Amino acid sequence: MSASGRAALISFEGGEASGKTLQARRLAASLRERGVDVEIVREPGGTRAGELMREIFLHAKDAAMSAETLALLVTASRAQLVREVIRPALARGAVVIADRFFDSTLAYQGYAGGADLDGLRALQRFAVGDTVPDRTFLLDVAVEVIARRRSADGERRWDRFEAAGREFHERLREGYLRLAAAEPRRFAVIDGDRPIDAVAEDIARLTRDLLGIRSR
C-alpha cells in the first residue's frame, strides 16, 4: 500500500526538451521520501518486448515508417506495459508515474504526424481499456525555448522526431494544448519555461492534492 493509500496513474507529457523526464523523476523521488510506493515507467518501452519495440521505433532511421506504423508500434508497446507493469502496480496500491502515455500518440502521430485522430483514439481504448491516467501533467514549452535548450545541449540526440523541423513541433504543441483543453479535469498544463524547482513544486502540490497527502 502506498502511504496515502491511494493508487493512481499519473502521466507526464510534452515535446522534446520539455523537462518532463526530469520532473517525473523528481516527483517519484519526493513521493518515495514520504513512503509512497512508486512505480515509474517510460514509453515506448518499460517491458522487455517494449524495449525491443523502442529500438525499432527510435533507431530505425533507415527504415521508412508512416505515422500509422509508428502509432501501432508504440501502442503495442503500451498494451504490454499496461498488462505487465501498470495494472499489477495499481493493484498493489502503488502510484504509477508514466513518462509519456497515450496522449503522446495522439499528439505526435495524430496532431503532428497527420494520422487519423478517431482511429488513434479507438486504438488507445483497445490497448489500455480503462487504465486511463488520473492526472496528466503537460509540460508546455514554446518551440523557441526548445530550440534554445537544444542548442545549449552538447549531447544532442537527433532522432527522427527531434530532427522533424519547426512546423512539426508547432503542430505538436498545439495538439497537446487541444487535448488538455478537451479534458481539463485530467490535464494540468504546467508552464515549463521556469526554473526546475518552481515547476517541481507545482507538480508536487497538485499531486499531493490528488493523493490526499497533507503538506508538511
Question: What does the binding site for ligand TMP look like in residue numbers (CB under 6 A)?
Answer: 16, 43-44, 74, 100, 104-105, 108-109, 161
Give the cell for residue 49: 518486448
**Are 112 and 171 spatial neighbours (Cβ–Cβ below 8 Å)?**
yes
Nearer to ligand TMP, 51 or 209 (CB): 51
d(C-alpha 22, C-alpha 28), whole Å: 10
Nearer to ligand TMP, 89 or 168 (CB): 168
**In the complex, minimum distance from the CB of residue 17 to ligand TMP, in angstroms, rounded to a whole number:** 8
Helices of type H across the chain: 20-33, 48-59, 67-81, 87-91, 102-104, 117-128, 143-152, 166-182, 196-211
Give the cell for residue 56: 525499432
Residue type, 128: V
Nearer to ligand TMP, 165 or 212 (CB): 165
**In the complex, minimum distance from the CB of residue 41 to ligand TMP, in angstroms, rounded to a whole number:** 11
Nearer to ligand TMP, 105 or 131 (CB): 105
**In the complex, minimum distance from the CB of residue 96 to ligand TMP, in angstroms, rounded to a whole number:** 15
Give the residue closest to ligand TMP by C-beta. 108
Place of cell 533507415: 62
**In the complex, minimum distance from the CB of residue 82 to ligand TMP, in angstroms, rounded to a whole number:** 13
